[in-house]
Structure 1
Amino acid sequence: MDNEDKKQDIKDDENKEQNIEKEIDNNKISDEDKKNTEKDNIDSSKNTSSKSSLETKERDWFFEPKKDGSPSTVPSDVENVIKNHSTYFLGDTSEKVIYLTFDEGYENGYTGKILDVLKANNIKAAFFVVTPYIKTNKDLIKRMVDEGHLVCNHSVHHPSMAQVALKSKEKFKEEFTGVEEIFKEVTGKEMPKFFRPPMGKYSELSLAYTKELGYKTIFWSFAYNDWNVDKQPDPESAKKRIVDKAHNGAIYLLHAVSKTNTEILDSVIKELKAKGFRFASLEELK
């Protein structure tokens, strides 16, 4: 073998080595790309999973009242569903404080008297209203606002928000914005960001959508059968129940259509104050 042949063999070997190195480098790049792609897929899967993992099952709100005066509780599975979605059924349980709320589906002639009692006792409450209520009771809405009460969102049509959430996010949003718009038209103000799900029906998805809209969901830790206008509870037994079930951080749900509630409200407030409770606004919720 002459010198020229040796030089060519050496050059061929060098080229082979360079090609091998390039192939190794390309494989490294390919492996790196593969890792990055896999990471992106995992991250994407996590994001999708975090949304798709939200429970869509319709639930009915309920709580477990206590006989010893301690705050009401909810089962652990309910606690797990509500805990990450700005959802409240209690306020500050370290203090003897009560949050008084009224649901207003329609006007039954008692809201004016309720406002009189609240004003006389210097109590600020929250009224959860639907669109038709605002349209047909503009003067009452203005009075609520003028006297320092919260007028809050209870939806346009009073549907199950769990069912609306299954239709589309846009349909869900419309149940909020419809109330906001008529409220602003009547009062010139923005609606406070508190929402009570109609009929207490909800899902984890509906709670998440509500939070996305900037709202706190307000359930309750006390309620009783006061809503049936044709079967009103006895005033004395109702008053005893309301007062005896008082607990730290209680969120009371009362219906303003109730004749009984209207008759006993003043004495209920006075008795609860005598027991050391104060009444707070939902705006204090943290």
Structure 2
Amino acid sequence: MKKKSLRFLCLISVITTFISLTACNTAKNSDILKEPSSNESGELVSAPTYNPVYSESKNNEEKKEPVEKIKKDTSSTTDKPVEKTPIKTESSNEGGTTISNENNSTEKLDYRNLNNTKISWWFKPNKLHVTPEVNTKLDFDLNKYDACYVGDTDRKVLYMTFDEGYENGYTGKILDTLKENDVKAIFFVTLPYLKGNHDLIKRMVDEGHIVANHTNHHPSMPTVTGTEEKFNKELKDVEDEYSKIVGKEMPKFFRPPMGEYSEKSLAMTKNLGYKTVFWSFAYHDWDINKQPDPVKAKKTILDGLHNGSIMLIHAVSKTNTEILGDVIKEAKAQGYEFELLKDN
């Protein structure tokens, strides 16, 4: 009897040891097979860090958005783009240039399967007074989405545009200069700018300028294409505030913040009735702490003039404010005229 009890206890001990070893090995294997976190995997799952080059915000903080995965833009300013395809234009009888487009219809585009890879707008400056090379090395046509970067390239005409993310105290003087020289411009404004500068907005409209859409939160547009509601709200909130201030609908021109876009974002913008306006001239004028020398800045702008140029100027710039009158006078002396883009 004692022998049987001893054998039974030995068997129990062996089984217990086996179970313990198995549990230990299972725990170790579980640790080995655990999938890495999103940070460990290196996948880009949030909005990219904003490029301060085209940001009007004083604080260019990285915005974390639960958005679709976006491939990093690998294009370079040294890439040789394909032949440019400027948007078709017609001269209007009001002294402006009408953007005309064979794809300009009220039919909504199906954007759901379009590429949402972020593309950054860039151009190569030249001193030949010809349309610069831009990043049109794309697998789609900008015209299809009512997007342009030049106006009428058959005439010596310039289109002056200002980006307004916040007021730095210079817009009033800029408006004075434009009025003195009989020049009209497009001001692309954000929602915070609209809310904080009712008097300036009313003055812009009263003096014949166009106030256009530059979004509510100044996002990289591919990061807000996840839902149509979120995307549309970025533009519609600006429209609504403009209507409250001015008492009429906002003109349908749009400039993507930081010049960042995708084929999908362009299609969604077009579905809202907008024409996307890029540029064929810009320079380092946005950094209020590193303003360019006025003499050098004036030369840079005048060297970059060409037929149909859409000029991107930042109204936060002290230098721009000081040289604007001279630039306009010299451009006119060279035979250039200043016009507004028309959307119909």
Q: Pick the TM interval, shorter chain.
A: 0.7 to 0.9
Report what 2:178 is aligned to. 118
Report what 2:132 is aligned to. 72
Higher relative contact order (CA 8 A, sep 6+): 1
Q: How many pairs are equivalent?
A: 236
User: Does residue 322 of structure 2 align to residue 270 of structure 1?
Assistant: no
Letter of the 1:180 partner, please give it: E
Deviation digits for residues 13-51 of structure 1, max 9, x if unmatched? xxxxxxxxxxxxxxxxxxxxxxxxxxxxxxxxxxxxx74
Q: Residue 161 of structure 2 contacts residue 188 of structure 2 at CA under 8 Å; is this kept in 1? A: yes
Pairing partner for 1:217 from 252, 276, 296: 276
Q: Residue 88 of structure 1 contacts residue 218 of structure 1 at CA under 8 Å; is this kept in 2? A: yes
Report what 1:16 is aligned to. none
With the length of structure 2 as denominator, give the TM-score of the two structures.
Answer: 0.66
Q: Residue 173 of structure 2 contacts residue 321 of structure 2 at CA under 8 Å; is this kept in 1? A: yes
| Greater CA drift, 189-198 or 64-73 | 64-73
Aligned partner of residue 311 in structure 2, secondary structure: strand
User: Does residue 150 of structure 2 align to residue 94 of structure 1?
Assistant: no
Report what 1:182 is aligned to. 241
Report what 1:231 is aligned to. 290
Deviation digits for residues 88-132 of structure 1, max 9, x if unmatched? 100010011100000000000000000000000010000000011
Q: Name the CA distance, whole Å, in 2 between partners of 1:269 and 1:60.
A: 29
Shift of 1:81: 4.6
Pairing partner for 1:134 from 194, 216, 220: 194
Aligned partner of residue 189 in structure 1, secondary structure: coil
- Extract unaligned runs of 5+ from structure 2: 1-109
Shift of 1:54: 1.9
Letter of the 1:100 partner, please give it: M
Aligned partner of residue 112 in structure 1, secondary structure: helix
Q: Name the CA distance, whole Å, in 1 between partners of 2:179 and 2:238.
A: 25
Report what 2:260 is aligned to. 201
Q: Residue 217 of structure 2 contacts residue 234 of structure 2 at CA under 8 Å; is this kept in 1? A: yes
Letter of the 1:212 partner, please give it: N
Q: Name the CA distance, whole Å, in 2 between partners of 1:51 and 1:130.
A: 25
Report what 2:318 is aligned to. 259
Shift of 1:52: 4.9
Pairing partner for 2:211 from 127, 135, 151: 151
Deviation digits for residues 132-152 of structure 1, max 9, x if unmatched? 101110000000000000000
Q: Residue 213 of structure 2 contacts residue 235 of structure 2 at CA under 8 Å; is this kept in 1? A: yes
Shift of 1:64: 2.3
Over 3 Å counting, the alpha-carbon distance change for 1:120 and 1:79 in structure 2 is farther
Compute the RMSD of aligned alpha carbons: 1.6
Aligned partner of residue 179 in structure 1, secondary structure: helix
Aligned partner of residue 254 in structure 1, secondary structure: strand
User: Does residue 338 of structure 2 align to residue 279 of structure 1?
Assistant: yes
Q: Name the CA distance, whole Å, in 2 between partners of 1:272 and 1:226.
A: 19
Report what 1:8 is aligned to. none
Letter of the 1:128 partner, please give it: F
Q: Name the CA distance, whole Å, in 1 between partners of 2:194 and 2:113.
A: 37
Over 3 Å counting, the alpha-carbon distance change for 1:60 and 1:76 in structure 2 is closer
Shift of 1:69: 1.3
- Equivalence map 1:49-60=2 (5 Å): 51-60=111-120
Shift of 1:75: 3.9
Q: Residue 96 of structure 1 contacts residue 249 of structure 1 at CA under 8 Å; is this kept in 2? A: yes
Aligned partner of residue 99 in structure 1, secondary structure: strand
Report what 1:35 is aligned to. none
Aligned partner of residue 177 in structure 1, secondary structure: helix
Report what 2:143 is aligned to. 83
Aligned partner of residue 66 in structure 1, secondary structure: coil
Letter of the 1:90 partner, please give it: V
Letter of the 2:327 partner, please give it: V
Aligned partner of residue 335 in structure 2, secondary structure: coil
Over 3 Å counting, the alpha-carbon distance change for 1:79 and 1:247 in structure 2 is farther
Q: Residue 129 of structure 1 contacts residue 155 of structure 1 at CA under 8 Å; is this kept in 2? A: yes
Report what 1:38 is aligned to. none
Shift of 1:169: 1.1
Q: Name the CA distance, whole Å, in 2 between partners of 1:138 and 1:102.
A: 17
